Amino acid sequence: MEYFLQQLINGLTLGSVYGLIAIGYTMVYGIIGMINFAHGDIFMVGAFVALISFILFALTSIALPIVLLLTLLIAMVFTACYGWTVEKLAYKPLRKSFRLAPLISALGMSIVLQNYVQAAQGARIKTLQPVIQGGFNFFEDSNFTVTLSYLQIFIVIVTIVLMAIFTLFITRTALGRAQRACEQDRTMTALMGINVDRTISMTFIIGSSLASVAGMMFVMYYGVIDFYIGFLAGIKAFTAAVLGGIGSIPGAMLGGLLIGLIETFWSGYISIEYKDIAAFSTLVIVLIFFPTGFLGKPDIEKV
Amino acid sequence: MLNISKVETFYGNIQALRGVDIKVNNGEIVALIGSNGAGKSTLLMTISGVNKAAKGTINFDNKNIENLPPHEIVNLGISQVPEGRRIFSRLTVEDNLRLGASSNNKGKNFDEDSKEVYDLFPVLRDRLTQRGGTLSGGEQQMLAIGRAMMARPKMLLLDEPSLGIAPKLVNQIFISIKNINKEKGVTVFLVEQNAKKALELADRGYVLVNGNINLEGSGKDLLNNPDVQSAYLEGGKK
Ligand SMILES: Nc1ncnc2c1ncn2[C@@H]1O[C@H](COP(=O)(O)OP(=O)(O)OP(=O)(O)O)[C@@H](O)[C@H]1O
Ligand SMILES: [Mg+2]
């Protein structure tokens, strides 16, 4: 029971990180019908920006909550610029080209980002001293103590807040409405007087800034990163997006949590060595039995 | 107001418009009739900037618009109700109307303008929270017209608004098109297969055949023209 609870806490924390990345996959898929293969690397860039920001702030005497907030903002802004650039370079020029072309150029962007970070930051792993320490301990007199760290609470709360803001944005604002319209019919959206190119760019910018927050959480949680972390995390988040139903935003959030839970429970109860296989087996099983994912959209088109 | 001159449009190698000349004056209702595949929808999409004219010019309010992107053309005052209505079926009726208002002072006139739309089509007011896709065909057409009106256009392009709609509703829709023109002063360019109804309503009309304008004249003259009668009226509903 105590052990189970601990896995649950760890799984929800990890799931928050995957969920934030998965939103970017699902939004871009929703709006242009393509998987952004560079999204995992955008997450990695976010982790590096956050790391650099933490290291610089460590030289100052600014209070921790302000450091966290500033790092969050810095990571979001810088990473959003990268996401915007990926869209401008890899997708926009090829929008009228054959379908595979932008996928190939996005794969290219993924490699460019990895090599760029490798060249600029070095290939060796980077470490970050714990930024938030301590936590609550439960069941201390039993033979397994359950820990809920302040960092885990921070990660889950930031994720919930961001997802709430994001949901309001999508459902209540003009830009969110334009994005939902683009998902259905880009030509018609343009005929509403909406700048579709700008709407698509905004989608990349928002997806990237959410991924950067995931990157910040990741570097805080694990304390080590390298230029290659985007690959595995990206594929798992993509699995999460498919699991939830690609194109569905609540689906991405749910899928992220599920993948996080599956991964931690697998490591906790079966084998830590094969934890990555757990996520991918899930992907295969979902694709076979629920090809549209759990919250995939049933169309209610009527002619 | 709208001056289309020698416009040619291609889909790859296929030429859909072969030098079209059309003029629409401020305040008019102008009808464009033609059989399937004549190029009517292509022309409207070329005016709206969705299809690019390979040759020729399109002038609106003394401004050349043939190279502008669609959203800028909407901002200049041309709104289109496309063939098949193209309602955002997964979004609510209200969201559809709000999208229509995007170009109009960034949606800030929504309350005021939506009232005018409800006056035209009272049924929409009762359907605001319903998804667009759950409306009947006729209601969707009303929504499509209402949505276009939310932009406060100077000119409305309508592509076969009577297509696939019950005859009773067709009358209602034609009456509202007339109202939009007469009461709200919106210039109307109407594409129709229902040639009789369209020409009865229109001040002037054009006949498009295979990407060429074949005939033009007042609505009445075209209705009485023997060629038009045999090609577009005899077989259809009298
Ligand atoms: N996307 C496209 N790709 C290739 N050819 C097209 C495309 N759209 C239309 N065409 C061709 O262009 C010509 C004109 O089509 P258009 O849709 O403009 O005709 P229309 O007059 O609107 O016909 P309808 O009354 O059936 O709506 C047709 O020959 C059609 O096959
Ligand atoms: Mg047509």
B9 lines ligand 1 (CB under 6 A): no
Task: Extract the tokens encoding A114.
Answer: 């990895």
Q: What is the mean pLDDT of each run of 10 residues along chain B (238 residues)?
A: 96 95 96 94 97 96 96 96 96 96 83 93 94 94 96 96 90 94 96 91 94 91 88 61
What's the gap between Cα B146 and its chain centre?
12
Q: What confidence score (pLDDT) does residue B234 get?
A: 66
Predicted ipTM of the assembly: 0.93
Give the residue from chain A lying closest to B74, CA to CA.
Answer: A193
Domains by residue range for chain A, with CATH: 2-289 (1.10.3470)
Predicted pLDDT of residue A34: 86
For atom 5 of ligand 1, which residue has the closest CA?
A: B11
* Distance between CA atoms of residues A110 and A41, nearest Å: 6
Length of chain A as a residue count: 303
Residue A300 in this model has a pLDDT that exceeds 50:
no
Residues 145-184 on A with a CB inside 8 Å of B are 174, 177-178, 180-181, 184
B82 lines ligand 1 (CB under 6 A): no
SS3 assignment, position B5: strand
| Rounded distance between C-alpha atoms, residue B140 and residue B88, angstroms | 10
Q: Say yes or no: A302 contacts chain B, CB-CB below 8 A.
A: yes
Q: How far is the first Cα of chain B from the last one, in angstroms, to the nearest whole number?
A: 32
Residue B217, burial from CB neighbour count under 10 angstroms (0-12, 13-18, 19+): middle
Residue contact A180–B50, C-beta within 8 A: no
Best residue among B7, B10, B14, B194 to mutate for probing ligand 1, ranked by most atoms within 8 Å of CB:
B14
Q: Report the pLDDT averaged over residues A102-114.
A: 92
How far does chain A reach from its first CA to its final CA, in angstroms? 54
Nearest one of A195, A168, A167 to A181, comparing CA atoms: A195
How much is the pLDDT for B238?
40
Cβ-Cβ contacts under 8 Å for A155 (sequence gap 6 or more):
A13, A16, A17, A217, A220, A221
Token pair 């790092």: residue: A71
CATH of domain B2-87+154-236: 3.40.50.300
Q: To test ligand 1's pocket by mutation, which of B41, B80, B160, B189 has the most ligand atoms within 8 angstroms of CB?
A: B41
Asked whether residue A200 carries a pLDDT value surpassing 90, the answer given is: yes
Which chain A residue lies closest to B86 (C-alpha atoms)?
A188
Range 31-90 of B in CB contact (< 8 A) with A: 48, 50, 69-71, 74-75, 79-80, 82, 84, 86, 88-90
Residue of A180, A181, A194 lying closest to B71 (CB–CB): A194
For residue B184, give both structure tokens.
Answer: 């709200």
Tell me the CB-side half-sphere exposure of residue B180, using CA atoms within 13 A.
32
Question: Could you list which residues have their CB under 5 Å from ion ligand 2?
Answer: B 40-41, 83
**Nearest CB to B103; choose among A192, A196, A299:** A192
For the record, the structure tokens of A172 come out as 């209540």
Query: Is the beta carbon of B13 within 6 A of some atom in ligand 1?
Result: no
- pLDDT (tens digit per residue) in A90-104: 999 988 888 888 889
Tell me the domain boundaries of chain B: 2-87+154-236
Of the pLDDT bands very low, low, confident and very high (cuts 50, 70, 90), residue A139 is confident
- Inter-residue contact B79 to B151 (CB < 8 Å): yes
> Which of these ranges, A70-84, A136-150, B144-158, has the smallest mean pLDDT?
A136-150
